[in-house]
A and B are shown apart, each in its own frame.
Chain A
Amino acid sequence: MDYRWNWSVFLHQAADNQTYADWLLSGLSVTLALGLSAWCLALALGTVLGIMRTLPNRWLRGAAATYVELFRNVPLLVQVFIWYFAMPEVLPFGIGEDIKSMSPLAQQFTTAMLCLGFFTAARVCEQVRSGIGALPQGQKNAGLAIGFTLAQTYRYVLLPMSFRIILPPLTSEFLNIFKNSAVASTIGLLELAAQGRQLVDYTAQPYEAFIAVTLTYMLINITVMTLMRRLEGRVALPGFGGGK
């Protein structure tokens, strides 16, 4: 193939005082910010839902199960579009109006963040539920027997134990959230993948642009994995799965 490689393209002037490398860096920071903020939402909501799925109350269990099925069986792309196009119109109490009055970037970021967070919460919920389910029934009984309320049993016995068990699958959900954030490029958010496409249009050097973006995603992956492995090693529970 007679393709002309030109790696110095990243140092070329893109806009005022910006090189194309700056575009990639700004894409990276959007991807990281989006992934991290959506992860906080997913972890908080997913934990609440996961607890609900293990409670004695049938209605709470059913509500959480419905949530999981709803968010797991609709493609992420459809969910992103629904959050972006439909939610500002149908959300009540002026929330929709608030979203619509934001700047385009803030609007894209907020809807993508909510979408990824709510989507991943369904997955986190299933992990939390299986973590609590993996504990022997005696743990809960023992907590209640020494006079803890149900809430205290969860807070001091069940959750600390189960989070240490489910850390490895949570790591892969954490990795997924960065990969899934690329879907936000479809609503125009200039994150990493979108910057890559923009670079192709502006520089006509598609291979360099895509290789750079691909390597950046791999770098995110390796960094997160290394950090999480270290954490997993520190908190692994003896006698359960990864623990020794």
Chain B
Amino acid sequence: MSYQFDFNSITPAAIQVLGHGMAISLQITATAIAFGIVWGTLLAMMRLSSSKPLQWFASGYVNLFRSIPLVMVLLWFFLIVPQLLQKVFHLSASNDLRMISALVAFSLFEAAYYSEIIRAGVKSVARGQLAAAFALGLTYTQTMRLIILPQAFRNMVPLLLTQGIILFQDTSLVYVSALADFFGRAYSIGERDGRIIELLFFAGAVYFAICFSVSLCVKRFQKKAAA
């Protein structure tokens, strides 16, 4: 081991820059979780519905997004979304649309994964619940909204949160568009000071601390819910 570590690059100013990057990472995560769960629920409903075209659409969507790498999805959206928005809103090409592209890409991508979790959650609710709701005279929509989904979501919370942790880690992949999230900023500080190795270990440690503590919370919550 001849390498001499030198963590002097991580100054208060650098921490501030990194903090702004972390805000971007968290913003993408929060948006994608919120939108992903809403759109994922709709997709799951389509897949469980009795309409064949809706089933085909939803399963096609889910299978498409689940069979290609996230890196590829991000590249697609960084190519398409700016062009589309510029056409529709007549924006000049100089507008930076990478953040919007990232938000759209992560939301649509995560929805495919969330929809699978939600579908499994809905299926885990006992069949008798459905029959009982129908016997009470509730319509299909009412049954889903008032009886099945509330129970399904309660069972799914740990899985949804775990998927959120994975999503948070995956936001680092916006690196392919040079969008300055937490990781992107850590890397460029390292590059500037010739201290890439230190900054990489630092970024890894921060990600680890956040993800590990959230997953501990999920575990504790799971135990409490099971008790």
Q: A residues bordering B, Cβ < 8 Å?
A: 1, 69-70, 72-79, 81-82, 85-86, 89-90, 92, 175, 178-183, 185-186, 193, 196-197, 200, 206-207, 210, 213-214, 217-218, 221-222
- Which single residue of chain A is at the shortest CB-CB distance from B165? A73
Interface size on B, residues (CB 8 A): 34
Question: How far is it, in angstroms, between the C-alpha of A228 and the C-alpha of B64 when the chains are bound?
Answer: 19
- Which single residue of chain B is at the shortest CB-CB distance from A86? B197
The answer to whether residues A73 and B71 also contact, given A1-B87, A206-B79 and a CB cut-off of 8 A, is no
Can you give 5 A-B contacts (C-beta < 8 A)? Answer: A70-B208, A90-B1, A193-B72, A210-B76, A214-B68
Which of B76, B175, B200, B212 sits near A214, CB closer than 8 Å?
Answer: B76
The answer to whether residues A217 and B201 also contact, given A186-B175, A210-B79 and a CB cut-off of 8 A, is no
Which of B3, B87, B200 sits near A82, CB closer than 8 Å?
Answer: B200
Instruction: Give chain A residues whose Cβ lies under 8 Å from the Cβ of B203.
Output: 78
Q: Which label, helix, strand, loop or mixed, suits the secondary structure of the B interface?
A: helix
* B208 pairs with A73, CB closer than 8 A: yes
- Which single residue of chain B is at the shortest CB-CB distance from A211? B76
B204 within 8 A of A: yes
* B75 CB to nearest A CB, Å: 7
* A31 CB to nearest B CB, Å: 10
- Which of the candidate stretches B128-136, B139-147, B150-158, B166-174 sits at the interface with the other chain? B166-174
* B75 pairs with A196, CB closer than 8 A: yes
- Which single residue of chain B is at the shortest CB-CB distance from A85? B196
Which of B1, B75, B196, B207 sits near A197, CB closer than 8 Å?
Answer: B75
B106 within 8 A of A: no
Instruction: Give chain A residues whose Cβ lies under 8 Å from the Cβ of B64.
Output: 218
